[in-house]
Structure 1
């Protein structure tokens, strides 16, 4: 009878070990996917910041050109003699 109990305990231990490995495998997959998501987000952040910085520089250049054009138009409209030549 002791032998039958030993087999049952061995089966129970085997089931517990199998369940533990399956749990660890699941946790490993989740951890890997979280790492991949984190890496993607870091890359996305860097790329976005670079593109926004470039866009900001272009916008600044356009704003300066617009200010220059506004000054030229203002000067031309305040001195109509420039158009009568």
Structure 2
């Protein structure tokens, strides 16, 4: 019987070794899955924070672009008013002040 126990004992030892190996692999897979889940949550949180910051920056850029556009319009309006007033004053008082047409044209072209 001692000879018959050897194969059975070997099978039992082999079965325990396989179970331990499967346990190690299962444990390692669980650790990897836990790490990946933790990494995923961390990345999602950081990306959400970055998204909020980018949204805030985009809003600021839109605000600044709108302000610059308004300033350009205001500058254009002011230039138009100045040229209009200069033309009106020239037509009304140019001959009295001794301003020639050529000097007036040069001044208005520079603006």
* TMscore range, shorter length: 0.7 to 0.9
Give how far 1:79 is off.
1.4
Alpha-carbon distance between aligned partners in 1 of 2:6 and 2:41, rounded to the nearest angstrom: 52
Aligned to 1:65: 60
Aligned mate of 2:2, from 1, 4, 7: 7
For these two proteins, the number of residue pairs brought into alignment is 77
Which runs of 5 or more structure 2 residues have no equivalent in the other structure? Answer: 80-111
- The 5 A counterparts of 1:16-35 are 16-35=11-30
* Structure number with larger C-alpha Rg: 2
Give how far 1:7 is off.
1.7
Give how far 1:8 is off.
1.9
Aligned to 2:49: 54
Alpha-carbon distance between aligned partners in 2 of 1:26 and 1:33, rounded to the nearest angstrom: 11
Determine helix, strand or coil for the equivalent of 2:7. helix
- Structure with bigger RCO (C-alpha 8 Å, 6+ apart): 2
* TM-score of the aligned structures, taking structure 2 as reference length: 0.67
